[in-house]
Structures are given as structure tokens and as C-alpha cells.
Structure 1
Amino acid sequence: MIRFRLQFVLGLVLVALSACGGAREKGKAVKVRLDPARLASAHEGERHALLIGIDQYDDDSWNDLRYPGKDAEDLGRVLADPRRGGFASVTVLNRPEQTTRAGVLEALRTLQARAWNPRDVVVVYVSGHGTLARDTRGELQRYLVMRDTRFRDVQGTGLEMVVLEQAMERLGSLRRVLVLATCHSGTGKSLLPESVRSELERTKAAFLPRPLEEDSRASLVLSASDWGEAAREDDALGNDIYTHFFIQALDGRADRNRDGAVSATEAHDWARRHTWTYTQGRQRPSVRMTEVGADPVLLSGSLSQPGQPEVFSYSPRLEGFTLKVDGVDAGELPGGVALPEGNRRLGLHKGGALLWEDTVVLRPGERRALDSMLREQAEGPRRTVSLDMGVLGFLDARSRREVLPRTLMAGAGLRWQGLLLEERLDVGVDLAVGQGRQALQLELGGTVPVRHRAVMLGLTVGPSWEWGRLGVSTGPRVAALWMERSFQLDLLKQDERYFTVWPGWMAGVSWKLGARWVLEAKGQLLWAYVPVDGRTRAVGFGGLWLSGGYRF
């Protein structure tokens, strides 16, 4: 029995050794081949879409539409096409039982329940009637008209925009696009209650409530029309006009930066431009962006190479401005434009006036928001590096004659604007060195030649103010000062060194020579006790400086 057990154990050992191989290894790594394209796709996330088209309504007050259901189907085919959108899932709601308020809310809940990757792309599209009505607080809000929405009870039976907004906010994806092929102006794909229509007619345009989606925290909100305009269907196109050109953009023709993919903003810009032309300026699609940065939301294709640099703006305050690149018109805002890489001179013009101009360095694949560039210029550079030349010496003439002459100094400084106390105080550091060779006057008469050196390290904290090109700064200062004087006599060669830290005050006046360069004149006062010839004396030290600085 013992021999049998021993043979059994030896057999197990031989099996284990044979499995490990002749190299006596306990195991070896197995190479796994990964498809780079599949790995990149998994890293980028998936694309999903919920498309809603409502063309039939239970309440006869809403006129039936011809193309919303077809709009949703046509867009869905393009998004699901592996050669174009390549979406992992496309859900189309266009049948009567699917387009009730309850049906749409259930579809939104199903969308929220999905396990989302933050890098997933989700598109929600709505084509149908839009209207305005007062909510429970009595405030005028925008509503989407469902199949069962009652004209006389929009607030209770319509889908308020805030509900759709909140549903998108609850998604785990950070790449969200809401496309609204609706309007609320009372013409085209809309209808307003008479009370609301008459109220709007009596309301000055500047006080009209803006659409709720302007403040949406979803990534992108694309609208087929601007506030107060109609979204239109067209029999010749067989679609909603904006939707027709939006679909057209996804076949690759809207890829303006040639990176192999069509982003949501590229598709919108294509559709906006062609919708404006097709309707002869009667319909202006709009876009609101809040969370989209350098990472675009891709709707079609895949990134095959770094694209050309892009600059863009969808801010209402820049609408109507012309973007010039190197002095040549590149397009009218809102929108984006692809540019050659390198140094480019950008300018914003309107009515012959120049709002802003600057030279920027653009790199492949970079996306720059004009709003951010304007904000950076408005705030101005926060740091200034300077080269300083000046003179440092005692304030009283006796000390300059008998202790240490004036010393020419040269150095450099660095100043941070708004670094402390909620951007109220600036901080500056500077280092200067100097030396000289002069004669000091002796108490008994006569003079003695002396060589002197000085090194000063200073810290200044204080506020600054700017009025156009003129700037003023001031604040307390602390300086560490090392001094040396060496008497040059045939019978006596003696060196004296002294180190101290002095409190004081500095003030300066600056003048901007351009966007980056600045010229500054500064004065400083320092006070300390200094031992001179065996006696401690309270002395004042002063300096005058002229600086040339570069702001960044």
C-alpha cells in the first residue's frame, strides 16, 4: 500500500513537470493577440441613440405633421450604419403607442437604467411640435408636445424640457447630445395658446424668456431653430429641413478637420449653414455647449489621424462676429473653422470694428474655444518676468560718503498677479547684485579707496490696479541684504561683510507696451540697524529701478 501511494505521488509529480516543460519552469506567459482597432473602440466607448418622431396627435388642435416619424427612421438608419455612425443601439419611437407621454418617459427610464461608460456617446433626438405654457409656478416654459398632449392642458400632459434635461443628466455618460427638431414660435412645427400668443406680442423682445436648454448641463443641445423662430418641414426634401442636412453631414462631408470622424458640432455647423441658405435666412439653427472641451463628441466615423486645429464659438454674445485668420475672412459665428497648424493671427470683427486680436499657436488635433481666448485676454496674463536695472544706497549723505557709496544693481524678478486672498494681492520676488569701486571720506580728513559689493533678495506682497495701459502697484517688502566693502591700501587690506534682513515698502508705476510687454519704474525704502565702525546706527536704504517685463 505504501509503495502504491509512492508511485501515485511520483506520477503526479511527473505529470506536473511535463506540463511545465523541459525548462523546469512553473509556468510561462501566454501571448494574447489583441486587435488594436477593437481595443481602441473599447477605450472610446459605445454609441447609443434614442430617436423620437411624433407626427400624429389625439387633440385636433395640434395639426398632424408629415415627416417626424420618417425623420427618426432616416436618422436611425445612418446612425446604425457600420460605415457611418456605427451605433451599438438605436431605438426609434414613432408609432402612436410609443409616442405618448407615458411611452416616452418609460423609454427615458430604460435609457437611464443602462450601465453607462463615461466615454459612451448618447444621442436623444426629438422631432415634433413644441410649444410654450406656464408651469405650476406660473413661469413660461418650453414643452414638447406628445401624441396625447391636450392643447388646453399643456402643463399637465406635455413633456416639459426640464424633465428631458434631468433625464439626460442622470445618464452615466459624459458625452450627451440632445437634438431638438421642434420650435415654439407659433408657426411651422408649433402652435401657441391664444393667451400666450397675445402675451408674447405685447412683450418686448429683450424680456422674452430664453429656452430652458440654454442652461442645460447636458453636453450639447442642438436646436433646429433659434428662439422665436419656426422649424420647418419641406416636401421637396421629404424631411424636417434641419434634420435632412444633419443626416447629410454624417456621410463624412462635414469632416472639416479631416480627422476621419464627424463630431456633433461639425454635423450641426453643416446643417446650420445649409438650413440657413435653404430657408433664405428664415431659420437659424442654434447650439448650446456647456461640458464639451477639447474632447469632441463623435457621431460618425472614427479618428484615423490627428485633425487640423479648430477654433470655435457658440456663445450668443459673439453671434454675428466675423472670424479673420491672418487677415482673411474665415467665417461668421456661431460655428467652428479648421485651420492650418502653426502661428495664426486671429481676429474678431463686427461692423468694421475690431473686438479682439491675438496670435496663437495651433497644433494638430487641438480645439480652441474663442470664448476662452477672449476671457484669458480680458483677465490678462497672471505672471510677469522682468529684467531690472537700478541704484541702491543709503538715504542720508553722510552714510554714502563715509560708509558705502551708491551701488549700481542688476537683476531679475518674477511677479504673480492675484496669487493671495482670493486674487486680491500680488506676490513678487526679485534678486539683484551690484558692485563698484569708489573713494570714502575719512573722519580725520582725506579719502580711502574702497571696493564694494551687494546682493539683495526681496519679497513684496501687495495689491495692483490697472487703468488701460497704466498700472500701479504697491505693498510691504522684506529684503535680505548682503554687503561687503574692501579697503584698498598699501599698508592695509581689510574686508568687512554684513548680512541683514530689512523691512520696507515698495511702489511702482507700469505702462503696457503691448499685450505682453510692460515697462515699469519702481521705488523702494528699507529700514534697519547697521553696525558702522563699532557703533550700531539706524539707517534708511532706498532704491530706484527701471524694469522691462514680459507677461505670460
Structure 2
Amino acid sequence: MSESRHALIIANDSYADQGLKQLNAPGHDAEALHGVLGDPRIGDFEVDVRHNLGAQEMRTRIEDFFADRSRDDQLVLHFSCHGIKSESGELYFAASDTQPRLLDATAISAQFVHRCMSRTRAGCTALFLDCCYGGAFSRGASVRAAGEMHVLEAFEGDRPSGGRGWAVVTASNSMEYAFEGGELTEGSAARPSVFTHAVVEGLESGAADRSATGTVTLDELYDYVYDRVREQNPNQTPSKTVEMQGSMMLAHSRHREPHIEPEPLPRAVQDALRSRNGFTRLGAVAEARARMASPVLPVAEGARRALEAVVRDDTQQIADEARRALDDVRLQPDPVRLDFGRVPRGTAVPPRTVTLRGIPLARHCAAHATGKWLRAEPSAEGLAVEVDTSAEGRLTGDILLKGVADDAVVHVEAEVVPHAVTPPRPTRPPTQPPPEHGLLLAPALASAALALAVTSVITFVAAAVATAYAVQDRAAAGTTGEFAVSVKGHGVLPLVITALVTAAAALLCGALARRRLSARRTRYTPWAKTTTRSMTSVARRCAVPVLVLTVLWSIAYNIVSKQW
């Protein structure tokens, strides 16, 4: 993600004042949220977690969090603590040293947070309040605070001065408590609150990506959290208020169904599928099956959907043929079970490959690993599977594959064992490797090739000059002279032969140099490689023209010497 993304999580579960009940969830809330927001594959936020701060520390950290921001910044502030209503109806967030009778001095007012949010220049801000403010509650549910409080009213008023705006999402509305779990009571094991658990679950699993776009927006997350919280406890209703232009993207989705916009079949094929003639429809099914194998996925998806319609609507014989065609798009992972065996803790294990077989549409799928220690990334062959060896023990998990037509599972196992510490071996004095003979042979051959090529050029130029003089002498002799005698007299033939031989030798030496360099590529320095390639290239460009010209000269000499 290109934006600068920052999250501040404030979790207060221990209070000095006896009138404020100790909470179980905030510490676990902070840990779980830090995991998903800080994961570069999900939230990619820079996360700061503050636990059991005093009022002055909270005030300072909150104001500093919103200060000195730019429009490229995206901010998330999460409170997990008591919410307290003053006698005048104002909302306060409890710090570890809050005294309910001195709220202005020892607690954080919602108006203070509102002012910080309104003044910031950040592009957009999301505030999550996992607090409660009054109302009825169900048996067995641990609640936070008391007294009726209209939470979102505390954040109404001035629009943000900079950026696109802000949004506030609360765990409950004005007449309800925020529950810490239907069975959670004092002294029980810590676990996230219902609200924060839904937030973490929606982001971590990708289930909040209801539009299947690969990203989770604030609106999508709220809709998911609302449904999940209401399922867990009908007495709790999350709420939100938004003062924002556009939508805020909170996270990447790690698990979503593959979506392909289909391209309709050509009109002729559609008409053939609707034909009254059964053989015509069978031919159209075959054509749709061929289009389904196209590497252009929208074309293939359009054909697949048309075949699915045939299975639903056509006669048994033609539907069976379409059903057999649809078997081509079933997921075919190979292998379906991976066992990494025993691996030492903390070591880097080479990834294993799961090959996805079949036509391109069958290989198009989304992969989701069920364990945090397991990772599956797309590769050229299919999937590259890696395991995290940071924790010891037996690891068992699955990679869930979601294709366009069906699902598949690849089972993965590994056993992480303690890293064996081997005693250091006695050191021996380093021995010099024996000198390698012929290491400079390629540059030497390239140098010889260049020298021969230059010699061939000079010799051919001399031959050309001598030939010109021979032509002048033959023209001056008139009918009594012979061209062959003039050429011999000026010594042209030895020069031409020398140019021909040196050009051929230059090409031979260059070829040997390149072959030597290719065969022993790792044994030459980059400078030697570059120099060898440069010299052989220049030699080839000089020798080839000379070789061609000497051959042409020889042909011309044989013709002219007979006629002149």
C-alpha cells in the first residue's frame, strides 16, 4: 500500500479506582488487533499499542498521534476501556488513574478526541470505540460502565478541516453495553470482546471483503461486524457515523472467491444452443467447451456459464455432454498432501510446489492457509507453500483452494524440532587452491582474433591498392598486355591470400574464445567476460567483410583475367 498508515491502540483493563471494574478483554483485544493491522499482507499499518496509560499520558499520546500529518496519511484509533458519562451527560474514556468524581482532570473527554480528529491534516481517520455506555444486559455477560449515553452525539459538529474526513464506529448504541463474551466473568481467561473479535475475524479471514475486490473498506467491515455481533448477542448493536468523502480502505483481503467478468458467447453459438435440432446443440456444446479452454479468462468464464445453463435446462443427453465438459474446470492440485517432515526450529525451509493442472480457467483460484504458520503464494507452476519454523511442535493445517467451479484442499504437515547445536570443528589453516591453468585462455584467444582481424583488414586494403595499380598498368599496355601478368607483377595474389587466411583465422579464434568463456563462465571475472565479448565482437565485424570481399575479388579475378 502506498499511503502512510498508522494505528494507535489504547487498551485499559486495570483501574486504581475501586468503582471501576477490572476488564478482561482489552489486553487480548490489543494483541489481536496488532496482529491483523500490523500484518503487511492485511492491514500494513504501523501499529502503536499503549496499555493501562494514565490520563495525562493518554492525552499526550492521542494529540501527538494526530499532529503533523499529511493528506497521504490514514489513521486508525482504537479504544478498549470503560466509557463514563458525567453528570452533565458528557462522554469520557477511562484511564488507569481515572477518578469518576474528577473526570475533567483524570479522564479523556470525547470532545478532546473529537477536536484532535477535526484538526488533523490526515487524509482519513477511523475511530473504533469498544466501550459501553449503559442499558440492559443479558445473563452471563460482563459489561463496561453504566448510565445511558448517546455515544455518536459526542462526535457530531464541525466537519474535519483537512483530508477526506473521519468515521466513528462504536461497539454498541446509546442504550446498550459492549459485551466481553457471553460467558465471560471476572477471573475467567482473557479473550477478545465480541466487537473486537468480529473486527479481527473479518480482516484476518478476508470474510469482510463482501464485494470480492481484494480489499476491505470501512463500510464493508462495519456491515460484517454488525452482522457478527448481532449473531453473538442480539442485545448489542454496533453503530457508526461518517464525515468522509469516499470510502476508507482498511486492509487487503487474504481470502476471497475468484471473480471473473464473463464475456458472452458469440451470437451464432448462442443461437445454436437454442436450436431445436439436438445435433446442432451438441455442436454448440463442443464449441463452448473449446472456448472454455481459452487462456483469455473472460472468454473461458463466459463459456463455462453457458455450459452450466445447458446442464440446468437442456435434455438429459445434451446436459450430460455439457456436464462432462464442465469437468475440465475442476481444481486439480498435485499433490494434495505435503509433509515437510522434521525441520529444525528457526531454519529457512525451501518452499514446496503444488502444481495446478488443467486448462487456464481450472488453474485460476484463490488460496487461503488455515494456520498463521502456513503460507501459500502464487507461482508459475501453481502455488509455492512455505512454513514458519519459529515455534516448536507438530504443525498440521490446510490450504483451502477456491476455484471458479469447486473447492479443493491441500493438507500440510510439518514437525518443528529443537535446533541441534553442533560443536565447532577444529579450524585448519586455509589452503591455497592449486593454480588453474588456462584461466586466461579466452581473453588470449579473443586478443589473437582481434589482431588477426585487424591484419586481414590492412592486408586487404593493400591488396585493393595493388589491384588498382595493376588495372592502370593493363590499361596502359593496350592489346599487348595481360591482366594476370599485371596482377602478378604488383604482388596482389599473396596479399589477397594473406587477407583471406587471417580473416578465417580471426573468426576461428573468436569462436574458440566464446566457447571457452561459455564453458567456464563462473571462473572468469566480470572484467574478463566483458573484455572477451567486446574483442570477439569487433574481430567478427572486421573479419567477416574481409572474408566476403576476398571471395568476391577471387571470382572477379578469374573472370577478368580470361577476358583481358
Category of TM-score, reference length = shorter chain: 0.3 to 0.5
TM-score by length of 1: 0.41
Counting helix residues as a fraction of each chain, which structure ranks higher? 2
Larger radius of gyration: 2
Counting strand residues as a fraction of each chain, which structure ranks higher? 1
TM-score by length of 2: 0.40
